[in-house]
Amino acid sequence: MLLGAGGTYEVAWDTAAAVTPMGSLVYFAQYLNAGGLFDGLVTDCPLEYKSGNAPGKRPVLGTTLLAILNGQTRYAHINALRQDRVSAEVLNVAKIVSEDSVRRAFQKGPEAAWDEWLRRHERAVWEPLLSEPYVLDIDNTVKPLYGHQAGAELGYNPQKPGRPSHNYHTSFIGSLRLILSVEVHGGKQHAGRHSMPGLWGLLDGLPAVCRPRLIRGDVSYGNEQTMLEAESRGQGYRFKLRQTTKVRAQIERLERTAEAWSDAGEGWQGTEASLKLMGWTRARRCIFLRRPVERMPSRPALPAFTEFDFVQVLDHGPCYEYIVLVTNTDLDLSAVAQAYRDRADCENVFDEIKNQWGWAGFVTQDLRRCRIMARLIALVYNWWNIFTRLAQPDRHLEAVTSRPLLLHAVGRLVTTGRRKIVRLTSTHAMADKVQMVLSRIGSFFNHLKAIAEQLNPEAIWAIILSVAFRVWLRGKGLHPVVEGNQTLLLLTT
């Protein structure tokens, strides 16, 4: 008996009840099944067990999927899922395995096999979309570490100076928040050049029509080697430049001519000039942007009794914030300025995947497992991103919003004869709308299954992407073209 504010309550524990806090997982599992995502991931996984007592790769991957999807950040958090038999059954997983089983699993087999496996499934997710014009964002985020992990080195760490870290070099489609690749490097390898060999390898493996219209990066990528590599491939780029002495001198020259500056949108003004900086082999087109900012005092105000009337601080004209970009494209000044402003969404991607997913955690002593988990998290992040687009096609829903809406509902599994019924109860304020949206998604996949018996998995996935990103695609349909074992994926009309 418990005495509470509302009266006296009798409490009875039911450890045998088939319930789950992730009842709406049944819809996500239907989506995974229709796209062949989880089954495909399990089928060619390089994880192998010889012991009859081993958990098996499907339970291990299923447990990992649930942990990532639920927003967990530590292997130890897996213990919170151990008794969730409903989620295990919905994913067709024999059981939820222990944290140690998951942690040890990624130590098995050669790392090259894991890399090839992950690359194959990463490409399968986003490859059909690349025939549409897109901008590829590249950036790095710092992950502070608190132990003695491999690669835990003192490097650039603006949030926690002096703290060892790893660097996550990432490329993604900015407008869709789909991650194309992530490389985990040691703390000292924070410069953009450390990720470029992998990025060029990724782009060189794509058909010409699937390469980005523009690569967009910060100051870490605005160097001669990166620009030469892009120019040799005919690849458009737009990078931010450091404001070195020569760049500042050019800004001062431009400031002498007020007519040189024109409106660049949203309070910015812009102009352009050709620059050849030290270390560059050629002159390149540079875009100069400025906007007025409030002038900060140059020194603290002195007490009244020490001020002298004949001493005055003179302000000469307005104060500006300057941004300098380098590009090899022929985009007009306003378009380049807008592309710079759009890149602010990069920080939102990192904020979400570090704080709402698992990139800030799942740390092990070796770098190998950190890399595998980072890529698995990115893969599940992409899966969930696409699923939420089926519910909200015109914008991205961050996990802090989408999980309570589309995943968290009390689910009870009831078995009667041959029927399996999952009874859902959502406590969300928008429960009625959630029910309508998820029911519509379920009906879509039921209809897709009925008409797609003659289609291969790549064609089915292209249909799913076409529906999920119908706003971005402007109603176009994606049709994969399969040649041997290589999916080329062209947009046909």
What is the rounded CA–CA span in Å between residue 286 and residue 328? 9
pTM over 0.85: yes
The residues spanned by each domain of the chain are 239-298+314-342
> What is the residue-wise DSSP string for 169-208?
EEEEETTTTEEEEEEEEETT--SGGGTHHHHHHHHHTS-G
Q: For residue 39, give Cα distances in angstroms to 42, 61, 186.
A: 5, 10, 33
CB 159 within 8 A of CB 144: yes
Neighbour-count burial of 98, counting CB atoms closer than 10 A to its CB (0-12 exposed, 13-18 middle, 19+ buried): middle
What is the rounded CA–CA span in Å between residue 408 and residue 311? 66
Cα angle value 91/97/102 (rounded, 5°): 105
Residue-level pLDDT, tens digit, the chain, 493 residues: 787 888 888 888 988 899 999 999 999 999 999 999 999 999 999 999 888 888 999 999 999 999 999 999 999 999 999 999 999 999 999 999 999 999 999 999 899 999 999 999 999 999 999 989 999 999 999 998 888 888 888 888 888 888 899 999 999 998 899 999 999 999 899 888 899 999 999 999 998 889 999 999 999 999 999 999 999 999 999 999 999 999 999 999 998 887 789 999 888 999 999 999 999 999 999 999 999 887 655 555 545 444 443 333 334 557 888 999 999 999 999 999 998 888 877 778 888 999 999 898 899 989 999 999 999 999 999 999 999 999 999 999 999 999 999 999 999 999 988 899 999 999 999 999 999 999 999 999 999 988 888 888 899 999 999 999 999 999 888 877 454 444 444 433 3
CB 407 within 8 A of CB 68: no
Tokens of 174: 């900015």
